[in-house]
Structure formats: C-alpha cells, structure tokens
Structure 1
Amino acid sequence: MSNKNTYWLASYPKSGNTWFRLFLNQLLGPAQQLNINDLPIQNTIASARLGFDVGLGVNSSDLLPAEIDRLRPFNDELFNDASDSHIYRKIHDAFISPNTGHPIISTKVSAGVIYIVRNPLDVLVSYHYHLNESIDETMAYLNGQGESKSQHPNGIRSQFNTFMGGWSHHVLSWIGQTQIPVCVIRYEDLLSDPLTHFNKATRFAQIEHTQSELQQAVDSTQFEKLKAQESKVRFAETPSHTSHFFRNGIAGGWREYLTEAQVQKVVSTHSNVMQKLGYLDNQNNLIF
C-alpha cells in the first residue's frame, strides 16, 4: 500500500498559493538565497499536462476530458510513490471532477490539504489583472463559470482545463469534504500574523523546523521582496500580457477598483461562505 506522502496546496486562483509555495521552498531549503524562479514545487501542479503524459506514458491529447480526469488520480499515486518523503503539490481544481463525479485527486495517497483562501473581492481584482479581462468578465468566473484558461503560446494547452466552479463552490468542495484532513489558511491572516499562521500550516503538514528557520522563510518571502526581485527578473509564471505577477498583495485593495454594484453582486452571490470564513459579519457587513 502506498504511503500518504502528498499534501495539497489548494486554492482558488490569486489567493496566495504562489506566495505560500515560495515560503515553503525557503523553509525547506533555508540556506539558499531567494530566487522566485527556483520553485521546483511548481513543476508538480496537479493539472500539468507534461507530468501526466510522462508519468502515465500516454498522449493526453488523444483522451477525452472524462478519461483524463479518471486517470489523474493514478498519476498522483506515481508522483507520491516516487518520493520517500512528503511532497507538496499545487492545485486549483475543485475537489470533485464534474466529468466523473469523483475526486480529481487520489485520496489514497493524500495526507492532507492546506486550503488557502482570500476575500473574493480581492481575488476578483487580482484575477481581473491576471486574465487581462474586464472586472465583469472576470466576475463570471468568480460567480460560477469557473474554468481556467491556461494556454501555451503555440496553441497547445500546457495544463488541462481546470474546473473550479464559482468561488463558493470551490471553497466548499475542499473544506466541506471529509475524505482527507484539511487546514484552512486565510490570506489575510498570513499578512497580519505570518509567523502564527505559516506555523499553523507547517505543523499540519508535518514539516519540522526551528523558530529561526520559520522567521527566515517568512522574512525572505515578504511581498515587497518578491516584487523587488521581479522588477529585476521576469517571474516564470507571469502572464504574457503583463510585466508583473506580484502586483499588490494587500488586503482590502478591492475598495479602489470595484463599484458598489460590483461589490454587492459578489457579496450577494457568496455571502454564506464569506460569513463562514469571517469576511462578513452576521449583518453582512464587510470585515476586510
């Protein structure tokens, strides 16, 4: 039987997953200098086509989406079994594949999931810049359409279509499932008290470290340091239409961009989950 070596770093896009992976990379290699493009964890994103094709020895372009989704858990098991220690893999998919009705990942090898969540109003603004689409077009994804548009420049998708559903659907699909343990980490808490909440996540993921190692990893991956490094060298995950990936990174920045009507549309769609996660009080007043 396979060991459960895999921890998932799950999030809706633009919720802090990249920041968390950079932090984790520094924590696991505390002696190395920060290099935003030296991020091996990124090579094992769950929806990567190349890793799937190489791992399973198939040409995924010959497969239907449902066939791919049925096979993805088997590829997860290959990734898992190739390592003698814990691995930490990024995923943006919702927990259940709509093509199969089953988990998109292998629960047999999953030790747990760190679910990173962010105020959907800030997600909306950040995703709008990332997609290079209007706020209202981006809101269609946030409020329900929810399929990624990952595209390779030569026209072949480098990642499989990623079904996310709307923001609320995505959140509940992960934090509401009971098949694998889950640790919920709010982006806003990482900003306000990084030592406490990064430590919460690493303890959940059974990562041994000293307090000084934690402090070093937090300090070296402060947002302004990431942004400063990106000003000198392009980050590999930056979309082709923009010059920067690390744009703002604050909590509550949505107030400078969204109209009242846009805010109310998001809040009315996601109020239940926003209350559950502390983004709204019980009177539907915004907290962040």
Structure 2
Amino acid sequence: MASTPHKDYHDDELDPTNIIETYISADKTDSKEELLHYPLRELFNILTPGCVRGDTLIDLSFSVAIGQLLTASDYFKEIIMLESSDVSIREIEKWLKKEPGAMDFSHAAMFVCELEGKSEGWEEKEEKVRRAVKHVVKCDFTKANPLDPVVVPQADVLTSVWYLEAVSKDHDSYLSNLKKMSSFLKVGGHLILFGFLNMSYYMIDKRKFSMLTYDEEFAKKALRDTGYSIKSFGKCKSKLNTHMVDYEHIGYFVACKEREV
C-alpha cells in the first residue's frame, strides 16, 4: 500500500489552535519545556546583555508564535509580525484584539516573568506585546518580493522560529527563502534564528506534516552564503519519547547581516 503524502504548512487542515494544544499548552510538560521554554530562555539570554538591540523587530515564525514577543517587547519599540498562513493570521489577530476564543498564552507570559525574576505581572506582559505589534502582514514566498504590495521598513532585528524548515521544499528553496527573508533586515542588523536539526515531520491530529531535513553544517553555510557572520550558536538534544515529532536537536543562531546578497 502506498504511503500517504505528507501535508505541508499551508494546508487548510493545519489548525494553529491544534498545534498549540498538541505541543505547548500549559499541560504539555515535556514538549512545552523543549518547544516553548527552551527558546524563550535562550532568547532572554540573547537579548538581556544589550548587544542585540534596535527600535524595530520583524518576526516571521511558525504559526501563532507569540512566546518570543513576550521577551522582545521589552527591547523594541515596534514589532511587525509576518505570516504566510491565512488561518494563523486570523488567530494572531484574535489574540491581539483579545477576541472571544483567542488562544491562551498566559503560561508563556508567566514563564517569561519568572525569567525576569518577577512573581506577577504576566497580564501587563501580554498587553505590552499588543501595544508593540504595529502590523500583521501577509507574506508569500512564492513571490520575488514576499510582501508585495505592502512595504515595511527594514528591521534592526529579525526573529524566526521554526519557519524556514516548515515552508521550504528542499535545500535550494531554503536558501532562496532565507535570502528573501534577509531582505527584511538592515545591514548591520541581527537575525535570531531557531530551527529543528534533522527533522522530517510533525503530527497534528493523526495527520503528518512535512519538515525540511537539514543539519547544523547546512544551516551555518546557508547563513554565511546569505551574507551573515554567525556570532553565536547553541543547540539542545531532544529528550522527547514520542512518535509525534522526529527532530534530533533544536538549534539557534545569532547572526549579523554584513552585506546584501
């Protein structure tokens, strides 16, 4: 019997609410630690020293990724969110507008408060994100200019969490998408990139979705070839004992854009 083809990121069946519930809701102890707490902790450590700063941050991340903005909103006056999935854009806007049925990220806000040594204040942390996000813009990486016809200013810092491997079909398209994404960032600005190393799929409601498989060396070469100087890199090995995902490591890169490519 032929195997069922994997679905992709832009499939209508990829419900962002199910992604949250499956992997990073408050009751998902193990996967929440790796997929939510680890990147939030590392982002806090990256931004706190003050070396990676600016006025404007652009975020292009997998699905409804609010978590990293809970830390970023302390350091940037303006945040622009980019997303290529219409259903994810609708869920992001529901959360920003505090509409009924919006997803609950309070546990992520509480965790960020703990990182900052605060025992309370998570509601204000969420409100700070809502005030900082000035635009939510649809992007389409099948276009030469993914934001056309919208024009946004180049950012001082660009954050991206789990996105490129979700939307890239092969290594060539990963490189092409990275170059397009890098056009959103100023020369001299910093890219903070989180990715899954050696992953091929993830499961949502018994449906299997594709992820591009690549390793640490490929990612480093891709960044160098796209005009970046890598300033720091870290990774953590997966400890999840599950058939739901198959990544080996979570990796992150902090890279300075030295030239246009």
Q: State the structure with bigger RCO (CA 8 A, min sep 6), 1 or 2.
A: 1
TM-score range, shorter chain: 0.3 to 0.5
Larger radius of gyration: 1
The structure where strand makes up a greater share of residues is: 2
| TM score, norm. by length of structure 2 | 0.35
The structure where helix makes up a greater share of residues is: 1
| TM score, norm. by length of structure 1 | 0.33
